[in-house]
Amino acid sequence: MKEYLIVLNKDEDTISIVNLESNSVEKTIETDHNPHEVIVTPDGKKTYVACSLGNKLDIIDNETFEVVKRLEHPDFNFPHGLGLTKDGKKLYLASTYSEKVFIIDTETDEIEKVIPTYQKYSHMITFSPDGSSVYVPNIGSNNITVIDVQTESIINHFPVGPGPEGVAVHPNGKHIYVANQEDNTLFVIDTKTY
Residue 65 to residue 138: CA distance in whole angstroms: 33
Q: What is the pLDDT of residues 83-102, one digit of tens each?
A: 999 999 999 999 999 999 99
User: Is residue 161's pLDDT more than 80?
Assistant: yes
Closest CA to 62 of 47, 81, 78, 51: 47
pLDDT at 2: 84
Q: What is the pLDDT of residues 97-152, one digit of tens each?
A: 999 999 999 999 999 999 999 999 999 999 999 999 999 999 999 999 999 999 99
Residue 29 to residue 172: CA distance in whole angstroms: 37
User: Is residue 1's pLDDT more than 90?
Assistant: no
Q: Is 130 left (phi over 0), alpha (psi -120 to 50) or beta?
A: alpha
* Domain boundaries of the chain, sorted by first residue: 4-116
Buried-state track 43-61, b at ≥16 Cβ within 10 A, e below 16: eeebbbbbbbebbbbbbbe
4-116, which class in CATH? Answer: mainly beta
Taking a C-beta distance cutoff of 8 angstroms, is the pair 5, 20 a contact?
yes
Taking a C-beta distance cutoff of 8 angstroms, is the pair 143, 134 a contact?
no
Mean per-residue pLDDT of the chain: 97
